[in-house]
Structure formats: structure tokens, C-alpha cells
Structure 1
């Protein structure tokens, strides 16, 4: 008799462990990462006051940026993003009511804006919260979100004008589109990370997420204007696992590529850590755009849900790597009075 068949739950857990171990090896640690979404989001359902929210939004100033010795390496438990998401959803719902119940077409521009903004902006607040270094202000994040989002679209359009592409949905067209768009965003992400002199994994993820969220908002608004509210709503919920997450990976890749915290160069982008996470973002983007020859994958958006899940697995591994970086900084013996922006050895 053969070995007894393992339960499906055990097989799934083993597959997840193998996947996180492989991705985690890219960051420099050869072990699986335990993923506990319920633990991470446990504070979403706890009661928080307006003062708690105000305190989070004050992060990143000279007075509120903590010294390295006070940066926490405890598991991140963001919650403010859920309040922002709720406010945006209520606003969008009221605009839908205005449009459908009262036949008010003047609500359409608002629907385009809020429908495009809701999920990417809430995700951006998520990445702002988990930046445990608290060294980037909300004003800087908004600047990167708005200017970086549009600038990344400009960079992408320039690349499209230089590289001939088709609008097909075959794998090669999808791969070329993913390569061009992720490279366009990369150029802007790298510029902001160098300009703001940011050196840590959480910083890179935040700046990447800001550029990606801006890109997602403006792109979805365009699709909504062309194809209507149904497409707008579909792209809105799918934004939970697309541009914002892909660009957060690219932002982390930029930090991995920096040489002793010096600005990114054409030589440092050849580092394996950079190439792996950059091409992971490109691959996820390409697989998203590829029209797979398997019709059943389109049922209940299975294709998209699988890619969303995989993108979040990569993000969870990067979060674990970011917390490990904090522990490495502490082990390096950083004095309590040292400021957060001073360079320290990487893991």
C-alpha cells in the first residue's frame, strides 16, 4: 500500500510554505514565512478614536519620526486603512444613489473619481501605516501619489512610443505590456526613493505603492470613462491586487538594489534581489493581462483571484523581510540618539 494521502488543507499549507520559502530566499533568509492575515488585520475591528487616527497621520515630521532604537519590529497590525476605505465606499455609494435614484448625470464625474480612487487609496494608507520607521509624512505620500502617478503614466507612454506593441491578449503582448508599464513606474519610483533619500524596505514599498496607486486611479478613471460604470466597478475591486501591490514590490526591489544606501545606478539594478522582485511584478502584470486559453478560469474571476492571492503572498514576505531588517538594525547596536535617516548595515 502507498503512503496515505495527505489532507487537502495540509497540502495547501505545505504549498504555501514552499512558496514563501522560495520568495523569502530572494530577500536573504532561507525559511518559510508564516502568514496570518487574521492576526495582521485583528485591529480593524477594534475601537479606535479620532485621536488615534490623527496620531498616525502626524508620522514623518521632524518631531514625530522616532529614532532607530524606538522603531518596533512587532508584527504590523494596520487598521486606519479600513476607516479610509469605509469613508470612500460610503461616498461612492451616495454618488451611485444620486445617479440612479435621481437620474442626476452630474454625479458621473464624481463616480469616475471615487470609483477609481477607493481601493488604491485605501491600500496606500495601508502601506503608510505599516511603514514602521514612520519617516515619511502623509504630505510626501500624497505628493508621490499624485505627481508620481501621473509621471509614471507619462513615462509609460514614452516607452510605448519607443517600443512597438500590439493590443493583443496573447502571452507575448501581455509580457511586453507588463515590462513597459512596470519599467515606466520603476523610473518614477527610483527617482522618488533617491530624491527622498529613503533606504529601508518599508520605505521602498510605501513609495512604490504610492506611485502604483496613482497609476491605478488615473488608468481606471480612463477605462471607466470609455467603457462605463460596470467596468469601473470591476476594475475597482480588482485593484486590491494589481498596480499598487506590483509597484510596492518594485519599490522594495529598488531598495534591495541600492549599494550601501547610495543612489540607484544602472549597475546596481543587475543585482539578483532587484531583478527577482522586479520581474515578479512584471510577470504578475503580464499574467493578469494574458487571456488564458482556459475558459473556466474566467468563471467567478478565478484567474484574477489567484493572481491577487499570489501578489499578497509576496507582500507578506516583504513585510516579514522589513521587520527582519529592523531587528538587524538593532543588533548592529544603533545608539538611541541616532536619527532614523542615518545609514546602517543591511542584513
Structure 2
């Protein structure tokens, strides 16, 4: 059995056990354990799986840990500050959120990986996913903790439901979007410096748009439902839209990964590393 699958199954078992014991005892001291296990399980599993696909030996376990934890925290903090002071309720609010959060994660990725001597696009996908999943894990922990507090008092059920939903959706969210950006950022494969190209700018806007659609789709679905005057339409539109956005992201990442694989197999790799600029 692979390491990532062992981690997932062990973590899932511990989370389920924690849920059962927390409900049985009502012990509030178990809530941090419940929040952390539920929020980090899927992101950590996907990062461990991605680590097995790395191209360069420079992508070490230490760097992966740094991008996941440090990159995730820096991204969350930067996004929180910028959203607080720059965003105001308006029709472009969700696009603003997408721009800010993707910029925060991309900046954290570029900063933490700046000393890599050879920036292979394949590794950019993996390290980008690591930053994105780190962001998702810390953000999910915040959402889960907030979900605990309801108008009727503390609700363990709401917390568990929030963790389940965000865990299921985690693979097609922040990790996916930043993986796309990371692959394009590292597209000057084998070179020391980043390539801030038109392709990266277009990718950034596109990923931010996907992010905005993901965050704002329920509002769009509600407007369409109100216009159609069919309350049964909302659920189908909500999930249907998220599925379409997810498929677009997955197909886009697949294209970025294939482009990265072609770069790895290109004749450029016959050139000695010390001759690459």
C-alpha cells in the first residue's frame, strides 16, 4: 500500500473515531482535534500523492512541507488582509476574491521556491498544488470552527457536515487552481529564473475567473432560480455549475501537465545543466 493511501485511511479512521467520541461525550476539548483532522486529511493526502510524481531531486520533503505550511499560512494571511481593505460588496466581489487569493498563493509559491536551480514545469504543478492545498487546509479549519457556532448554540453536526463537504470538494479547489499556476510559472523548464510571460498573465486571469465562478455560483444559481420561479431548480444548478467548473479546471491542469511532460522529454535535456541560463 502506498504511503499516501495509508495516511488517508489512517487519518479517516482517526477522524471518524474522534467524531464518534465527541458526539458520545460532548467533550469540547476534542473539537480542535476534530477540526484539524478533518481539515488537513484530504489536502495532506493529495500533497503526498503529488510528491511521488516530482521530476527533480530538488523538490525535497522539506520544501514540500514549507510550501504546504508556510505557503498556506502566508497565502491565507495575505488574502485576508487584502480582502478586508480592498474589497467591498459589488457585482465583481467574487472576481476580486479570486484575484487576491490566487495572487497571494502565487506570490507565496514564487518566494518559497525562488532558490531552486532548475524550475521544471512538472515540479511547478506539484509545488503549486502543495501551496494551494495548504491554503485550503487552513481555510477549511477556519470554516469548520466558525460552523460550530450557530444561532441555536454550538452545533457539532454543522461542523462535521462542513468538514465533509469541504473535504470532498478540496481536490477541485485551491490545490487544483494553484497547480495550474505553478506549472505555468515554472514553464521556463530547467532554468533558474521564473518566466513572467503573457501565458502566465492569461492563466492567472483564467484561474481567478474559475475561482470566482466557484465561489459565486450559488448566487448565480439563486438568481436563475428566482427568474425561473422553480425552487427545485436551485440544487441542480448549484451542483451542475460546480461540476462544470471542476471539469474545466481538471482539463486545464491536464493540458498544463502534458505541456510540462513534453518539456521534460524535449532535446533541451541533453544540454548540460551548467550551460543553461
Q: Normalising to structure 2: TM-score of the pair?
A: 0.82
**Per-residue Cα deviation, 1:236-265 (whole angstroms, up to 9, x for no partner):** 211110001111111112113x5983434x
Instruction: Kindly indicate whether the alpha-carbon contact (under 8 Å) linking 1:123 and 1:240 is maintained by their aligned counterparts in 2.
Output: yes
Q: Normalized against structure 1, the TM-score is what?
A: 0.66
Alpha carbons 2:118, 2:192 under 8 Å: kept: no
Q: 1:97 aligns with which of 2, 16, 20?
A: 20
Residue aligning to 1:279: 205
Deviation readout 1:118-159 (Å, 9 max, x if unpaired) = 111112122212213343111220121111111112222332
Return the match for 1:247 from 173, 178, 202. Answer: 178
Q: Residue 221 of structure 1 aligns with which residue?
A: 141
8 A Cα contact 2:87 2:93, kept in partner: no
Alpha-carbon separation, structure 1, partners of 2:75 and 2:118:
19
Give the RMSD, CA atoms, in angstroms. Answer: 2.5
Q: 1:104 to 1:151 in 2, by over 3 A?
A: same
Q: Per the alignment, in what secondary structure is the counterpart of residue 194 of structure 1?
A: coil
Once the 2 structures are TM-superposed, how far is the Cα of residue 298 of structure 1 from its aligned partner? 3.1
**Structure 1 runs not aligned, ≥5 long:** 1-47, 54-79
Deviation at 1:197, TM superposition (A): 3.5
Shift in CA distance, 108/316, structure 1 to aligned 2, threshold 3 Å: same
Q: Any conservation in 2 of the 1:192–1:207 contact (CA below 8 Å)?
A: no
Cα offsets for 1:21-43 (capped at 9, x unmatched): xxxxxxxxxxxxxxxxxxxxxxx
- Look up the SS of the partner of 1:294 in the other structure: helix
Which has the larger share of helix? 2
Alignment of 1:169-188 (within 5 A): 170=91, 172-188=92-108
Q: Does residue 85 in structure 1 map to residue 14 in structure 2?
A: no
- The structural deviation recorded for 1:333 is 5.8
User: 2:154 is matched with which residue?
Assistant: none
Change (3 A) 1:225 1:250: same
| Structure 1 stretches of 4+ moved >6 Å | none
Between the two proteins, the alignment pairs up a number of residues equal to 254
SS in 1 for 2:114: helix
Q: Which runs of 5+ in 2 are unaligned?
A: 149-158, 226-232
